[in-house]
Structure formats: structure tokens, C-alpha cells
Structure 1
Amino acid sequence: MDQIISWFADNQDLIVSYVIKFVVAILILIVGRMVANSAAKFLGRGMTRKGVDGAVISFLSAIVKSVIFIAAILMALSQVGVQTTSFIAILGAAGLAIGLSLQGSLANMASGVLIITFRPFRAGEYVEAGGVSGTVQEVNIFQTILKTPDNKVVFVPNAQITGQPITNYSREATRRVDLLIGVSYDADLKKTKEVLESVLKADERLLKDPAWNIQVNALNDSSVDFIVRPWVNAADYWPVYWDLMREIKIALDEHDIGIPYPQMDVHLHKQTSQN
């Protein structure tokens, strides 16, 4: 007993030093946990205000919370004299191995976060993304679900979507209908333009502003091509497109304006043989 008391008396400064370091390490853990929780909540509230998906919010909040708390643990261990260099090396190697094995999934996850954050499209919009055209049903962390016009459900990896151009057909309220109408070289171009204008004037779905445009676009091998470009509400695009194609054909036939098709003239030359 006397030896123990004597040892404590001789090492009093060392014991006090270790006790202080231990208390500081505990305080670092407590403060680190508080900071991690606060940072995760702050991030969650900010992303919620921006309308980010709940699954993405919880996932990113958990990552931020874990990173901060791990940093606090390493600081606490360093405070009590534990060499943390080896721990950092092990964590780095483990992170690299996990990243290499899951690089496809991580790429899809990162792309999903970008899609949900920047919102190039939303549920219910018709888009062309990742080589697939369809109506957006749902955007998940790893994939986007599209429904094609023929009622097929396509699961497109998010990395494939962000790696290619995205065309959103529903974002704007209006769209331009682009028609290319070819008539024969014998047609009266002035009369043809009047016929095309009469068809457009008869359709009340066409917008007056912006005004439509009808012009001769090209002189091809077999036809004179007109561009017909009216503007419509986005929801009326396909009905107007189909109706105009039908009505233009009917109107051109009624005015005897021919719609040519590719053809080839073959000329035969008879040669007489001389004896």
C-alpha cells in the first residue's frame, strides 16, 4: 500500500497530465458529436427547402454526420497519445477499395444527387434522357424511371442520363411544330403558300404570338420544300402535328398541287448497226 501511495506521489504530474488529456478527449468526442448532429440537421433543412428527395437528404446527412464524428474520434485518440497515422492510412485504403468496387453505383448515386438537386426534369414531364424518351415517373438515387408512349417502363441508370444531353419537352409552355412540305416544280409557289396559310388559319389551336412562319426552304432533286412552323401549347403538340399533316395533304389535293416522290427518268437510245 505504501508503495502504491509512493508511486502516485512520485508520478502525480504525469497522472494529472493523462487525466487532463483524457477529459479533453471526452470533451472532443462530445463536442464532435454535437457538431456532427448540428451539421446534419442544417444540411437536411437546407436541402428540404430546395425540394430535394427525402432519401437523398437522409443519405447525405448520414455521410456528413459520420465524417465529422470520425474526425472527432481521430482527434480524441491523438489527444491521448495514440498514433492516428496508421488509422488514417487504413481508412484511406478501405475507402479506395470500396470506391473501386462500387464505382458504378457511386457514379449513379452522384448523378442521382445532381438530378434531384438541379432538377433538369420532374415527375410527369416528357423527356429524352439517356437515349430513352418517355414520361418521368420517379427519380431515385441510382436510377430514373421513365414510361414510354407505348406503356413500357424503363429503368435508366442516372450516370447514363447525366452523361448525355437531356431534352425536356414539357418544361416550356409552348412548342413549335416543324413541318417540311414538298411540292412539285410545276406548282405555283405563291398559291401553295396561300393554301398552307389557309390550313393554319383554320386551326384555332395555333398561337398568334409567336406568329407562324411559311417559307421556301430548299430546292431538292424532286421537290420544292416549304417549311411550315406554327406555335402551339405544349399539350397540343402531337394532335396539331397529326391534324396539320392530314389537312395540308387534303388542301393540296383540292388545289391540284402535286406532292412529288423520288423518281428517275430513263432514256433509251437505239443504235443502228452498220455492216
Structure 2
Amino acid sequence: MLNDFFLPLQLQIPLGGLLLSMLSWLLLEVVGRRCRPRSLLRGLLLTSRLSVAATCLLVGLGWWLALQLDPLVVNLERDGHEVRELLVAIGVAWTLVRWRQELQRDREGYAQEILPRLNEKDRLFLYDVIQKLLTISVGAILAYEVMQQLGVSAAVLITAGGFGAAAVGFGAQGVVSNSLSGLSLYVNRPFIVGDFIEIPAHQLMGTVEQISWFYTQLRSPDRQPVYVPNIIFTSTPVVNTAAIDNRRLLIQFSVSYDDRPLITAIVAELEQMLADHPMVDQAKLQAVHFTGYGASSLDLRLLAHACSSEITEAWTLQQDLLLRIGDVVERHGASMPFPTRTLLLPHQLSPAHTS
């Protein structure tokens, strides 16, 4: 009697979907809670609960409703399997989207977990690639399923490809160029997320925050977001200052003309100071030279390289060198000149100047 009641309406399909929805939520909840706290597996399992459970419920309900439709109104050639497959594809895509959101939530922690052997920059680069692949997978799944539902043939795809080529010829060059340039950035890796770059031709600079298919987002030194089309990076030179192995410091300073006999001793002490300085890279060129006779001073130059590539450490070293240069000059009894101007009032001028 129970079968006679259910089978005409095929209620076992929506009830089965409801049961499967509840079981999937419970299973993901239990297994997820047993995973290590803050782990990637725990995050993915728990974030999948809603999409997986809802998909099971909607697939059962949608398939059942499709079977109730009048064939004269909507003709489903495969007894509603088309609806089921479409809903499953949407559910899979939805789950992948939620996974991508979860990966973005704790970017650095998850990257450290799944790619522990790589350095920080390479780890974040590959992590960004994984997120991009998830996005591509979502688009590919939905596009394939839509084409399957529409019964798109190879001939139609070829025709669409012809129209696509014509669209490129009439105005989509920029979109295609930017997307291909974005792909080139991932393959060649002239810079990655976190690098500080400069584009001299366009007077742009900033820290790379995101590399998308069509543009790259920079954060300028004054914290303004800058969106740069990817085609710029393949057509103009880019300076990646993050790839510097050592920061070079070039400090210009001067002494008075009266201090010319002291220059040799000043240079010698500064050279010894560089040789003993713990923050100066001894493997790189370092020098102190007398460079010329200025308009009102004797000009000198100090060259050194910091041990680190970090700009903040280079600034610290530069400050220390400037202070030490002043101490050395003062210790030798020399002085650093500064521009002066003498103003003669009319009553102070000689008769020859007033005539």
C-alpha cells in the first residue's frame, strides 16, 4: 500500500534528496569538526556543507518537478535527467566558489600549510594560481553544461569561433591582449604578489597586490590603489626592486676649501669605517672618493651596499653612515660648508659700484 501511494507521484526522489541532504550536512559537519583547527581541510569541509546539502535537496526536488511537467508543454527527452545534471553542475560550481572564498579568507595560513617548502613569495604565487584555477574550473563546468543542455554541435562552435575572431578584429584586441599578457605574467613571472615594482615609462610604482587576467593591482607608496592593464608589462620595461640582492647607497658630502689638506685622512678613516661596519656588505664594492671642486666646497662621495635587500634596513644604514660621516669630519677639525649669500646695502657700496 505504501508503494502504491508513493510511486505515482515518485515522491521517493524528493524524499531521497532531502535525506541525502541531511546526511551530507551531518557527515561534513562531523568530519570537519574532527580535523585540526584552522586547517585547510577543516575549512573546506565546513564551508561545503551549505552548497552540498542544498544541491542534494534541489536536485531531488528539481528532478521530481521535471517529471511532473506535461510533455506537451515541456518535452524532456531524457525523463528529467537534463534537469538533474544541470543542477548537479551548478552545485559543483557553487562548491568551488565557496572553496575559493575560503582560500581567500586565510590566504597566508593556508598557503603555508599546503606549500610549506617554498619561500613566501613563491608560496603566495602558486596559491594565487590555485585560486585562479578554481575560477576557471567554475566557468568551464557551467559552460560545458550549458552547451550540453543546448545540444551545441561542433559546427556551431566553429561558427562561434569565426564570430569571435571577427569581434577581436573589430574591437576586442585590448581584452585579448590584456588576457594573454596576464597569462604571460604567470608563465614568465617578472614579478609576483608582494613585489614592489616601478614602470618608468608611465611614472608608476607600487606593491603588487593582485594579478588578474586583465589588469594588475598595485598599491602606491601613498596607499592609493592603481590598476594597470597587463599589456603595459609586455610592452614597456618594468623594474622589480624586490629582486634587488643588495641596496646601494651613494652619499654625497662636502668640506670647506680650507680643509683640503684633511681630505686624505678623512677618506682613509671613512674607508676603514666601511670595512668594519656590520651592516655593509663586504663582498660588494665600497669606496670613498674626492670627486671635484665645487662652487664653494670640495665634494666627496661615499659608496656602499647594504647586506639586506629590505629598503627599511637600507634607510637605517644610510642614516647611520650620514651620522658617522659628520662625526669623522668634525673629529678631523674640518667643516661642512653651506650656501651663503652676502647682501650689500647701497651705502656699503664703493663709489666705483655706485657710478
TM-score, length basis structure 2? 0.47
CA distance in 2, matches of 1:148, 1:272: 55
Give 5+ residue unaligned stretches, structure 2: 1-124, 145-152
Residue equivalent to 1:33: none
Whether contact under 8 Å (2:266, 2:328) holds in the other structure is no
Give 5+ residue unaligned stretches, structure 1: 1-49, 67-71, 78-83
1:109 aligned residue (167, 171, 179): 179
Fraction of identical pairs, as percent: 24
Compute the displacement of 1:200 (Å): 2.7
The SS at the match of 2:351 is coil
Report the AA paired with residue 212 of structure 1.
Answer: Q
Residue equivalent to 2:94: none
CA distance in 1, matches of 2:247, 2:286: 12
TM-superposition CA deviations, 1:198-221 (whole Å, max 9, x none): 543453111211241112233332
CA distance in 2, matches of 1:94, 1:118: 27
TM-score, length basis structure 1? 0.59
Whether contact under 8 Å (1:146, 1:153) holds in the other structure is yes
CA distance in 2, matches of 1:242, 1:272: 47
- Where relative contact order (Cα < 8 A, 6+ residues apart) is larger, the structure is 1
Matches within 5 A, 1:63-212: 73=154, 92=162, 94-129=164-199, 131-187=203-259, 188-201=262-275, 203-212=277-286
CA distance in 2, matches of 1:226, 1:262: 16
CA distance in 2, matches of 1:221, 1:108: 52
Residue equivalent to 2:43: none
Whether contact under 8 Å (2:275, 2:282) holds in the other structure is no
Matches within 5 A, 1:207-246: 207-232=281-306, 233-235=308-310, 236-246=313-323
Whether contact under 8 Å (1:222, 1:263) holds in the other structure is no
Provide the aligned length of Structure 1 versus Structure 2: 207
Whether contact under 8 Å (2:249, 2:318) holds in the other structure is yes
Q: 1:94 to 1:206 in 2, by over 3 A?
A: closer
Residue equivalent to 2:46: none
CA distance in 1, matches of 2:245, 2:175: 35
Compute the displacement of 1:173 (Å): 2.8
Whether contact under 8 Å (1:195, 1:252) holds in the other structure is no
Which structure dedicates a bigger proportion of its chain to strand?
A: 1
Q: 1:117 to 1:177 in 2, by over 3 A?
A: same
Q: 1:273 to 1:216 in 2, by over 3 A?
A: closer
Report the AA paired with residue 120 of structure 1.
Answer: P
Alignment RMSD (CA, Å):
4.0
1:53 aligned residue (110, 119, 129): 129
Whether contact under 8 Å (1:128, 1:166) holds in the other structure is yes
CA distance in 2, matches of 1:162, 1:156: 12
Q: 1:263 to 1:122 in 2, by over 3 A?
A: same
Whether contact under 8 Å (2:289, 2:301) holds in the other structure is yes
Q: 1:176 to 1:271 in 2, by over 3 A?
A: closer
CA distance in 1, matches of 2:326, 2:288: 16
Residue equivalent to 2:334: 257
Which structure dedicates a bigger proportion of its chain to helix?
A: 2
